[in-house]
Amino acid sequence: MAGKVLIVDDSEMVRNFHSYIVKSLGLEIITAVDGADALEKIYGSDDEILFCITDINMPHMDGYTLIERLRDDPTYEDMPIIIVSTEDEMKDKQRGFEAGANLYLVKPTEPDDLLLNIKMLLGK
């Protein structure tokens, strides 16, 4: 599958971890350290971004704001987005839904769980 997956998290460890999981699907990845960096990577990418896995709490720009800005742009309003966050209350998930995320997973993700969710999201 052409295109890349964007992984957004301010923790290098988590970025790496999610990267390893996604790479096991044979997909290529791009990483970003926060929401603002993510926007630059998305708009600056010559490749299609297949989907995005993002944290919520990050410096410069949080995950909700990232998602809202993407959804404001017709070009990216359909990009599949998975939130992976430590926060697990209903109000956080509700916020994620309102921002426009497709899925919300709680950290630390079980690798198989993340993989399954990705497959369901991409429809394969």
Partner 1 sequence: MELPLEYFIKLRNLIYERTGISYEENKIYYVKKRLQQRMQAGGFEDIEEYIKYLKLFDGNGREFQELINLLTVNETYFFREFNQLQLFAEDCLDEVVEAKRRTGGSTIKILCAGCSTGEEAYTLAIIVREMLEDFRRWSVLIKAIDIDENVLARARKGIYDSRSVKDVPPAYLKRYFAQPQSGEYVIRPEAKELVLFEHHNLMDRRALRNEEGYDFVFCRNVLIYFDEVSRKQVVDRFYSLMNPGGFIFLGHSESLSRISSAFKIRRINEHLVYQR
Partner 2 sequence: MSLIEDLIADLSSEDEKTRAFAAEDIACDGLWEGVGPMIARLEIEPSRYVREVIVSSLKMMSGPELVNQLIPCLRSDDAFVRNSIIDILALQGEESLEALRGPLQDADKDTRKFALDVLVQIGSSAAALIAEAMADPDINNVITAVEYLGRLEDDRWIKEINNLFLRSDNVLLRCTCLETMALIGDENSVECVNKRYPSYQSISFLEQYSFLKFVARKGSDIHLPLIISLMGEKGQVMHKEIINAIEGILKRIPRDYLLPELIEVISNYLESEIKDINKYELLVLLGKYRNPEIYTILTKYLEPRKPLICMGAIEGLGEYGNPEAIALIEAIKGVVRDEEQREIIERSLIRLEKLR
Contact between 65 and 24 under an 8 Å Cβ cutoff? The reply is no
CA distance 102 to 41: 20
Residue of 53, 104, 45 lying closest to 75 (CA atoms): 45
- Give the number of other CB atoms < 10 A from CB of residue 86: 12
Q: Which stretch binds partner 1 (CB under 8 A): 43-51, 85-93, 94-102, 113-121?
A: 43-51
x-marked contacts with partner 2 along 38-67 as a string, rule CB under 8 A: ------------------xxxx--xxxx--
Q: Is 91 in the site for partner 2 (CB under 8 A)?
A: yes
Enumerate residues 6+ apart whose C-beta is below 8 A from 89.
none
- From the list partner 1, partner 2, none, partner contacted by residue 43 (C-beta under 5 to 8 A by kind): partner 1
Nearest distance, CB of residue 26 and partner 2, angstroms? 8
Helix ranges (DSSP H) in the chain? 12-23, 35-44, 63-72, 90-99, 111-122
x-marked contacts with partner 1 along 60-79 as a string, rule CB under 8 A: xx---x---x----------
* Chain residues that interact with partner 2, rule: CB under 8 A: 11, 13-14, 16-17, 20-21, 23-24, 56-59, 62-65, 86-87, 91, 107-108, 111
